Amino acid sequence: MNKEHPFAQYIRMLGKGKSGSRSLTMDEAKQAMSMILKDEVEPMQLGAFLMLMRLKEETPEELAGFVMAARDSLSLPEGMPTVQVDWSSYAGKRRQLPWFVLSALLLSSHDISVFMHATSADDGRIYTPQVLQSMGIASCRNLTEAATRIQTQHFAFMALEHLSPSLQYLMTLRPILGLRSPVNTLVRMINPMHAPLAIQGIFHPGYRDLHQLAALDLKQPHLVVLKGEGGESERDPDSACLVKSVHDGQLSEEEWPAMFANRHVKDECMDTSRLTALWKGEIEDEYALAAVTGTAAIVLKAMGKADNRKSAQTLAMDMWRQRPAMWPGVH
C-alpha cells in the first residue's frame, strides 16, 4: 500500500463532505501554504486544494495563516529601512486610468515611504508594472534593492514575479482553473516590509470584512481596505466610498462621500501618458485630480496626519500644489 502524501490531510479536511469537512486552523493553513510555496505538493493536489478553498471561501484565520507562510518564504535583508505604507496593486484597470499610482508617488515625494507590489496579466486591463515602467520606475529585482530605494527615494516597487516567483505562478493559474483562488487575496495582504499601515483595494464588497479580520489575526497595526475603482486601492470620486479600518486592534468604518454630483464617463482612450501630463501640469482633469488627492487623503487620515476627512483632503491638495517637478527617482 502506498504511503499517503503529507499534503493529502489538508485536502481531506476541506473536502470530506458536508459532515466531515471543516476549515483549517491558522496553523494548518500556514503549514499547507508553506508546502505549496516550497513546491512540496503534486499538481493535482494544488488544484484540488485551491478549488476546494474557493468553493467554501477562505476564513480570516486561513487567510492569516497563508500570509504568515508567504512572509516566511521571503528573505528580508538586514537593516531594513522603515516603510510607512504598504500598497498592493493586483486588480488592473479598464474603465479609468490607475491614478492611484500618482497618489503613492505624491506621498513619497513628501517623505512618506511607500512600498508598492503588483502583478500583471494579459487580459486587456492596464496593470501597474507596465505603467510604472513607462514612467521610468522599474521593478526592484530583490528586497535589498527595494530597501535602498526606500532609503534614497521613499518609494520602491516590486513586481510579484520578483518578490515571490512562487506566488506569481499561483496567480497565473486563474485562467487554467477558471476561478480566482485565495492567492488573489493573500498577495494583497503580504506586506513584506512590515509597514505599520497597509492600504488594500478589493472589488467584491464582502472581502472588506475578510481583510479586516485577517489583519487582526496578523496583528497589523493599521489597515484601510476599500472597494476601489476597478478593485484597486483607489477612491472613486464619483461614488461614496466605505473605508473599513483596523487601528491598534480596533475595527472601524467610515464613509467618504462622493466628490461629484454626476458620474464621469468611461475613459475610452486609457492613454497612460496622461499620468505624467497631469503631474507636470500639462493637462487638467477634475476626475483624475480628485482620484489622486482623494486616495492620498484616505492614507493621510489613516496615518494620523489629519483629524478628519476635510482636513485630510485639504492636506492632500496642499501636497499636490507643492509637488516637485517629477516624482522620486526621475529627474
- Assess whether 153 and 248 both reside in one domain: yes
- Assess whether 151 and 38 both reside in one domain: no
pLDDT in tens, 214-244: 999 999 999 999 999 999 999 999 999 999 9
Can you give the pLDDT at residue 96? 96
- Look over the chain and give the mean of its residue pLDDT values, rounded to a whole number: 95
Residue 79 within a domain: no
How many independent structural domains does the chain possess? 2
- Answer with the one of 51, 72, 93 that is the final residue of a domain: 72
Can you give the pLDDT at residue 31? 98
Q: Residue 330: which pLDDT band, with cuts at 50, 70 and 90?
A: low
pLDDT in tens, 273-300: 999 999 999 999 999 999 999 999 999 9
Can you give the pLDDT at residue 307? 95
- Assess whether 219 and 269 both reside in one domain: yes
- Assess whether 155 and 119 both reside in one domain: yes
C-alpha to C-alpha distance for 29 and 26, rounded to whole angstroms: 5
Q: Torsions phi, psi of 242, nearest 5?
A: -85, 120
In 110-223, alpha helices (H): 128-134, 143-153, 160-163, 165-171, 174-177, 182-189, 207-217
Instruction: Kindly state the average pLDDT of the residues 18-31.
Output: 94
- Assess whether 121 and 243 both reside in one domain: yes
- Assess whether 40 and 93 both reside in one domain: no
pLDDT above 90 covers what percent of the chain?
A: 90
Looking at the predicted structure, is the pLDDT value of residue 256 above 70? yes
With 0-12 / 13-18 / 19 or more C-beta atoms within 10 angstroms meaning exposed / middle / buried, residue 305 is middle
Q: What residue numbers bound the domain in which 265 lies?
A: 85-321
Instruction: Kindly state the average pLDDT of the residues 241-249.
Output: 97
Residue 78 within a domain: no
Looking at the predicted structure, is the pLDDT value of residue 1 above 70? no
Residue 331 within a domain: no
Q: Are the C-beta atoms of residues 186 and 65 closer than 8 Å to each other?
A: no
Can you give the pLDDT at residue 139? 95
Looking at the predicted structure, is the pLDDT value of residue 331 above 60? no
With 0-12 / 13-18 / 19 or more C-beta atoms within 10 angstroms meaning exposed / middle / buried, residue 4 is exposed
- The domain that holds 238 is classified in CATH as 3.40.1030.10
Can you give the pLDDT at residue 258? 97
Residue 330 within a domain: no
Poorest-pLDDT segment among 61-70, 79-88, 221-230, 322-331: 322-331
